[in-house]
Chains A and B, each alone.
Chain A
Amino acid sequence: MALPIRAASFKPYNLAVTTRSLPSGVPIAPGISLYAKGYGDHGHGHGHGGASRSDAAPSWASGMRLGGSKFESKTVMNAPASRGVHTSSKAPLPSPSPYAVPDWSHYKTENTSTNRAISYFMVGTMGVLGASAAKSTITDFLATMAASADVLALAKVEVSMSSIPLAKNVIIKWRGKPVFIRHRTEDEIKEARSVDIKTLRDPQTDEDRVKRPEWLVMLGVCTHLGCVPIGESGDYGGWFCPCHGSHYDISGRARKGPAPLNLEIPPYDFDDPDDKIVVG
């Protein structure tokens, strides 16, 4: 290429004078390439890639060529202009400044009430989920401090009710202490209930001491010094402590001797479907 001629370049070029005149006066300009490449065109127009320039005037309208030693330029005056050119004196509208704040009013909602409700709803939902998660976390953490299932299982003792005949005592071990269970007869219940509690050292009705009148469940530890009383003995037909001679009646109440309090009642429950008394 002799000269870099590019349509996209707006740089002015000063072409060196390469023409000279023939003796006849006709100018001759050898060595000028009149071929302007289109965008993406690589110089040999055989159709692939590189669209022909849309702003180039069609060849039938205008063109130039080197014919022999002659440089010809042709322009048809009525050819449609392929490039829009403002010819009026009115300047086109200036393009907006890149620093101007765009007009966002198109995006502005006309329904602020709904948006406000949505915002608070989202905040509230987040709060609900967070509070719920926090609550389960704390609950689970506290649950790790609770007694485990095997410990809880050891803390309870089950006794089959059908294995205890009427008017019999059973002593079972519960948390290292003896527990008395007596299947009381009607007469014994009547006797226990006929006592005037005002005369007792530790006034307590029989109704307060049993959940079911036929089943008396108490801790077998003498309230005096902690011996284990003997069943079906003593002056009151109940229990008698051999250590210091305390007498308990058929409801386990202290009646005579040094014992200050009635025999203690442990927590217990009846499991009717399985016919069991569960102590603990």
Chain B
Amino acid sequence: MCSPFALFALLPVQITDTLYNAFFRRNSVFVSTVFVGAFAFSLGFDTAINRVWDNWNKGKQWKDIRAKYVAPAGGADE
């Protein structure tokens, strides 16, 4: 039983019923939940992927090496 549904199988009937009644019963609620979930998912996904990218390219991006080339404060232009 290493399937992810094992988690569901562990849930008592009351919880799955509550889940059903809360989200799945009415299509309007179901669809809205899906859209809100998609919004949250894409936000989280983008954040996570960007973090991975920045971590992978640490020390190579302009924002990492800007301090070496741009004099901090003072603003003595160019």
Contact = CB atoms under 8 A, between A and B. Distances in A.
A135 interface: yes
Contacts, number: 66
B23 A124 contact: yes
A241 to B, nearest CB: 33
Given A114-B9, A117-B24, A274-B75, A128 B16 contact: no
Contacts of A121: 8, 19
Contact of A128 (B8, B37, B77): B37
A129 B39 CA distance: 10
A136 B49 CA distance: 14
Nearest to A158: B77
A49 to B, nearest CB: 43
A130 B34 CA distance: 10
B8 A132 contact: no
A113 B35 contact: no
Interface of B is mostly: helix
Contacts of B41: 128-129, 132
A118 B8 contact: yes
Contacts of B64: none
Contacts of B5: 118
Interface string B7-45: 011010100110110011000001101110111011001
A116 B24 CA distance: 10
A124 B38 contact: no
Nearest to B45: A132
Given A127-B34, A160-B77, A132 B42 contact: yes
B: contact size bracket: 20 to 34
A163 interface: yes
Given A120-B24, A121-B8, A131 B38 contact: yes
Contacts of A95: none
A21 interface: no
Contacts of B34: 124, 127-128, 131
Contacts of B42: 132, 135-136
Nearest to A126: B34
B16 A135 contact: no
A275 interface: yes
B51 to A, nearest CB: 17
Nearest to B73: A273
Interface string A221-254: 0000000000000000000000000000000000
A130 B42 CA distance: 11
Contacts of A132: 38-39, 41-42, 45
B17 A113 contact: yes
Interface of A: 111, 113-114, 116-118, 120-121, 124, 127-132, 135-136, 160, 162-163, 274-275
Given A114-B8, A128-B34, A275-B75, 10 more contacts: A111-B13, A117-B19, A120-B20, A124-B30, A127-B34, A128-B41, A129-B41, A136-B42, A160-B77, A274-B75
